[in-house]
Structure 1
Amino acid sequence: MSDTQTQIENRPPSVAALFLERVAATPDAEAYRYPVPPATGQGPDDWRSLSWAQSADRVYAIAAGLTELGIEPEQRVALSSSTRVEWILADLGIMCAGGATTTIYPQTNADESAFILADSESRVLIAENAAQVAKAVEKRAELPELTRVVVIDPAGVPEGDDWVITLAELEKRGAAYLEQHPQLIKERVAAIAEDQLATLIYTSGTTGRPKGVRLPHDNWSYMAKAIAATGLLGPDDVQYLWLPLAHVFGKVLTSGQIETGHITAVDGRVDKIIENLPVVRPTYMAAVPRIFEKVYNGVAAKAREGGAAKYKIFQWAAEIAREYAKAEQDNFRHTGNRSVPFGLAAKHKVADTLVYAKIREAFGGRLRACVSGSAALAPEIGYFFAGAGVHVLEGYGLTESSAASFVNPGEAYRTGTVGKPLPGTEVRIADDGEILLRGPGIMQGYHKLPEKTAEVLESDGWFHTGDIGELSPDGYLRITDRKKDLIKTSGGKYVAPAEVEGQFKAVCPYVSNILVHGADRNYCTALISLDEIAIEEWAKENGLEGRPYAEIVAAPQTVEMVDGYVQQLNAGLQRWQTIKKFRLLPRDLDVEHGEITPSLKLKRPVVEREYKGLIDEMYAGAREK
């Protein structure tokens, strides 16, 4: 048995235990960086640091404060906040108290928040600010189990209600409690069993109520060890963490960091990513495909603004990047080295000076690797970044598998695949192409839903992912689609919408979201929303300057421009996959309208329901088979 396998099998029962080990091993090393906005509201943020020992002081105070509030092992403490350092400290505090964290997205409305709080029987809610507190106050009568609300940022929270206390007050009370009970944390952490509930994450279902996914302590302990075993991260890395921590993809990154001991810079403000990257200068970052699409489209649109010559150079450089990345990866697969033909290397060097170096600089100049997950990344965009020296390693997992089941190996990564299983995770492909997983990362089941659990989890531990995929002879997985998202046209042909949508995103620099429709129809159509910033820049050059978004997308010249890209897409598709008609949406899809999830995944049924009129219009008069 290898050392890696031994380490994964002989893991401690919880991340809380790993945290205690990390603090003991490197107390003075930097753990977290976080931004403090200037008091005036003007100018750059001031970035501050916490060492592991300083983090532990706060984590233990939160744990003791929750214990004093009466939190017993496995009792739920809900966390409704955007990504910030206090989210991580609170989550670790809940785990060190032996409790279980219920995660709630801050965008969740009051009704759904109340459902999650009631269904999870959460005793305490840690809320980010006045807006999150207000939701709990509004539904207080429906939440008899909820004994206390703890607010991180109390600005604007009405005073005088002792149901609500501040996080600072909780930590103060916890520190006093620890003085009376100095062994409390050690005792609580030592008592945690591996199968004890650590986290309840409610999946943002596309239909009906969300389901609570039960993830025990051992899931996170396994993930921490398995991520470290991939060798992707080392103690000298700097990770930039902006993903929603209420989502399993963001949450798993906090476990991996504790095992590895590297620095994590935490800031969940998506509008600050471009500004933060040159300040944080990360060596590693995880993101969702939408971020890479936005960067790619932004670079393309900027080149276009610079005039025809500049745009031509960008298009040439983009093709060279893809050609270079494909040649490099093919050669590595067959020979183990990354050399490319001399002529291509020479062109790549010129393109690097003109285009790629600026892209790497925009990411902070030190980025070794990005991990992309949560949805499929269009291979053409993946190859572009690979050729430009920004290595995007696709990974794969679900809430039900604690997020990280597959990831591309650093050196041997293959664009268009999600890599190989993490050490300790098994995979097999069912007869119908569905991906089945088994291993220590798989959930215990859905909270209070045994029938739903039985639908996806077999008695021998195999979990049905609902995704369709193929395994290469040497173990690389390629996801082809969601089982339930595959379209069958009325002519009996299967279409994978995600594949067509991904290809369009690589072709059209103005697209934000696209939904391909065609189930039981005799041709495919698409609903397309455009990126507001990119299309406004285009509008300036095309006689539409100053018009609102809805007017720009309704203009004949915009429809004509997008039609050109649709024809370009169709040229590379099979006849039955081609987009025969499309409609531009009057606004972009967003989380607030429930059309995309907080991790930026498309909710197909919601969008199709919302824009049923436009879909019907595209098939009006068509002779269906």
Structure 2
Amino acid sequence: MTSPFPKYHFAEYPHQFRTRYPNKPLLRYYSRQSEKWVKLNGEQVANRCLAAAKGLAYLQLKKGDRVAIYSPNTVQGLCTELGIFMMRGVSVPLYATSTPDQVAFVVEDAEVETMFVGGQFQYNNAYEVQQRCPMLRRLIIIDPAVVLAEGDTTSMYYDEFIRRGDSVTYENKANVTSSEALATDLAVIIYTSGTSGQSKGVMLHHSNFIEQVYAHQLKYPFISPRDISMCFLPLNHIFEKAWTYLCLSMGVSIAILSDPKKILDALPMVRPTMMSNVPRFWEKVYMGVQDKINQAPTPIRGVMRHAIRIGERYFFDYINVGKKAPLHLSMLFSIYDHTLFAKVRKTIGLQRGRFFPTAGAAISPEIYRFLRSINVPMVVGYGLSETTATVSSCPLVGFDLNSIGTVMPALQVKIDPETSEILIKGPTVASGYYHNDAANAEAFTEDGFFRTGDAGRLEGDTLYFTERIKDLFKTANGKYIAPQMLEGMLTIDPIIEQVAIIGDGYKFVSALIYPNWEVLRREARQRGIDTSVSDEALAENHELHRLMTTHIEQALSSVAQYEKVKRFVLLTEPFSMEKGELTNTLKIRRKVINEHFAKEIASMYEE
């Protein structure tokens, strides 16, 4: 029997673009000059990938050589990576926000000689690293507006890199090498951001990606060349990288956004049908809608809440369980779907949405329920860099709201009976960490299962996530606390922007809270609290603390008494990546938080 989808090596993708989609828009990017989205068809994208491969042939790239890409999302970066694969090189992607020390670690660990840099920020950092890491021989600069450092004689601009490779000799070299590429070749080394400890280089081979793409093609065959996907998560993150290559394999048009902060401006212009995303985006959508509802006049507020209840009944009581909804319920839902719900989706730019996979952190079932109730087709999944992204994912219908989906084809998943750790084995699991035998020894069981570090349970082929095992802590009273769960429940409330749960070794649970000061000030004024003072003064206000306590109690109403937040401190500055308090994927670094806020934490436990 013929496979429904051919298993193409990434080195073959440019040729497939040229033969299958020569005139179809395959990539698009925003031009600052024309202030418009520019489209590139399959032929043009293939030419750009080949040009990059030819440039790498000029640089005499050999099989297995590591090439770093330190840049925001760009067409050049994506085409360069495909060029690296054509030349059987290894891509080493870095977050565009990485510091010089982080860049230096990767350069030395992966033995990088060539690095592609995006803009001035990346160039400045990389050039600094080059001065202390002689191994880094050259920088290739994507943005032509970058100003070179005085004395820089080794860097070249991307256009020059392309021109230097423009010869028949290098084209032949690229085509021959591409045809020799094997599934066993190492494709990428992705350095984990890590919530603790030093970063580790996850080795993913082409076979890992080939199997992962194929598994998704089988599970989500409705994805088609008619779709448009917004690429705004960093392409160096395994979720966006694997999703982008899946989309390219199925002829989806991809809009590449270089500045993720402009996502809300870009969505109404692109109007994507699909987009991979993280829970934080949907949390902000939920909070924005809830804030609008709370501010609306009473009659309108009643209508909006009634509409959401109707959407919830229609989808969860009928559609999601395979039942036909009663006529009157279907008609009511249709009315709301074409009016109120459509207005919400259009405001965000998701009116054409068909499929929005979401992963990277836990998402509240309440937010998940809300989005599906207003007909936003978001689905939840779970994965890691070490599993080439997806381990499990939900279907569009027929899912358990509290689960993280059904296990992907070809994967074996089991639960450690003693620790409840999720263990994984299969063709999408990484071979190990680059140059790190100690980490490799810890990462796998004796029978070859990868240790995820996550606790969960498995019912049939449906997987449930509990907590990061290393995040679980025990209070002085011996009670185990799952901080991520509590933080997720609290940040559902529009008044809470960020929160870090504290309590490891203490008598009770406390919290560091960075509120949405705009919403908090508005509620404070309604309560008669003087808001003309600074945030610092307001954060100490007794009445404001009473107001915040009400919100905390409501958010945690369903948890056990020992899990409730007893005391808290209001912060006037958010946790940030720049201060090392958040990873590049916006996860809390608890050790750093505990160090930076030692005084505030101590104050919450004073007798």
Normalised by the length of structure 1, the TM-score is 0.90
RMSD (CA atoms): 2.5
The structure 2 residue matched to 1:35, chosen from 30, 51, 54, is 30
Task: Determine what percentage of the aligned residue pairs are the same residue.
Answer: 29
How many Å separate the matches in 2 of 1:397 and 1:76? 25
The structure 2 residue matched to 1:261, chosen from 251, 254, 257, is 251
Deviation for aligned residue 1:295: 1.0
Cα-to-partner distance string for 1:227-249 (whole Å, 9 max, x where unaligned): 22212522211111100111111
Cα-to-partner distance string for 1:567-600 (whole Å, 9 max, x where unaligned): 1123221112111112212211122122222222
Aligned to 2:574: 588
Aligned to 1:16: 11
Aligned to 1:26: 21
Cα-to-partner distance string for 1:352-378 (whole Å, 9 max, x where unaligned): 466422222123311012111000010
How many Å separate the matches in 2 of 1:505 and 1:55? 41
Q: Does the Cα contact within 8 Å between 1:28 and 1:53 map onto a contact in 2?
A: yes
Aligned to 1:437: 424
Q: Does the Cα contact within 8 Å between 1:377 and 1:416 map onto a contact in 2?
A: no
Aligned to 1:92: 82
Q: Does the Cα contact within 8 Å between 1:510 and 1:534 map onto a contact in 2?
A: yes
Amino acid in the other structure paired with 1:223: Q
Aligned to 2:409: 423
Deviation for aligned residue 1:550: 4.4
How many Å separate the matches in 2 of 1:513 and 1:501? 8
Q: Does the Cα contact within 8 Å between 2:229 and 2:273 map onto a contact in 1?
A: yes
Matched, 1:107 2:97: yes
Are the structure 2 counterparts of residues 540 and 457 from structure 1 closer, same or farther at C-alpha, using a change threshold of 3 Å?
same
How many Å separate the matches in 2 of 1:532 and 1:325? 35
Cα-to-partner distance string for 1:313-336 (whole Å, 9 max, x where unaligned): 54554555445543236xx43xx2
Aligned to 1:498: 484
Aligned to 1:131: 121
Aligned to 2:205: 216
Deviation for aligned residue 1:209: 2.0
How many Å separate the matches in 1 of 2:18 and 2:476? 61
Matches within 5 A, 1:326-365: 326-328=316-318, 332-333=320-321, 336-337=322-323, 339-340=324-325, 348=333, 352=337, 355-361=340-346, 362-365=348-351
Aligned to 1:292: 282
How many Å separate the matches in 2 of 1:619 and 1:599? 31
How many Å separate the matches in 1 of 2:316 and 2:274? 22
Q: Does the Cα contact within 8 Å between 2:58 and 2:170 map onto a contact in 1?
A: no
The structure 1 residue matched to 2:503, chosen from 518, 522, 526, is 518
Matched, 1:489 2:475: yes
Deviation for aligned residue 1:546: 7.2
Are the structure 2 counterparts of residues 167 and 538 from structure 1 closer, same or farther at C-alpha, using a change threshold of 3 Å?
farther
Q: Does the Cα contact within 8 Å between 1:322 and 1:380 map onto a contact in 2?
A: no
Aligned to 2:583: 597
How many Å separate the matches in 1 of 2:519 and 2:176? 56
Instruction: Count how many residue pairs are aligned between Structure 1 and Structure 2.
Output: 602
How many Å separate the matches in 1 of 2:293 and 2:449? 49
Amino acid in the other structure paired with 1:249: F
Structure 1 residues not aligned, in runs of 5+: 40-44
How many Å separate the matches in 2 of 1:66 and 1:574? 59
How many Å separate the matches in 1 of 2:172 and 2:117? 28
- Of 570-579 and 51-60, deviating more is 570-579
Amino acid in the other structure paired with 1:207: S
How many Å separate the matches in 2 of 1:36 and 1:273? 15
Amino acid in the other structure paired with 2:178: V
How many Å separate the matches in 1 of 2:522 and 2:87? 52
The structure 1 residue matched to 2:386, chosen from 400, 404, 412, is 400
Q: Does the Cα contact within 8 Å between 2:195 and 2:588 map onto a contact in 1?
A: no
The structure 1 residue matched to 2:600, chosen from 599, 614, 617, is 614
Matches within 5 A, 1:268-307: 268-307=258-297
How many Å separate the matches in 2 of 1:300 and 1:443? 41
How many Å separate the matches in 2 of 1:34 and 1:109? 26
Deviation for aligned residue 1:453: 0.7
Cα-to-partner distance string for 1:76-127 (whole Å, 9 max, x where unaligned): 1111111222221121121112111111112111111111111111111100
How many Å separate the matches in 2 of 1:290 and 1:189? 39
Are the structure 2 counterparts of residues 158 and 449 from structure 1 closer, same or farther at C-alpha, using a change threshold of 3 Å?
same
Structure 2 residues not aligned, in runs of 5+: none
Normalised by the length of structure 2, the TM-score is 0.93
Matches within 5 A, 1:28-107: 28-38=23-33, 45-107=35-97
Are the structure 2 counterparts of residues 347 and 498 from structure 1 closer, same or farther at C-alpha, using a change threshold of 3 Å?
farther
Matches within 5 A, 1:196-207: 196-207=185-196
Matches within 5 A, 1:102-251: 102-158=92-148, 161-174=152-165, 176-177=166-167, 179-231=168-220, 233-251=223-241
Amino acid in the other structure paired with 1:448: H
Aligned to 2:444: 457
How many Å separate the matches in 1 of 2:530 and 2:263? 29
Deviation for aligned residue 1:558: 3.9
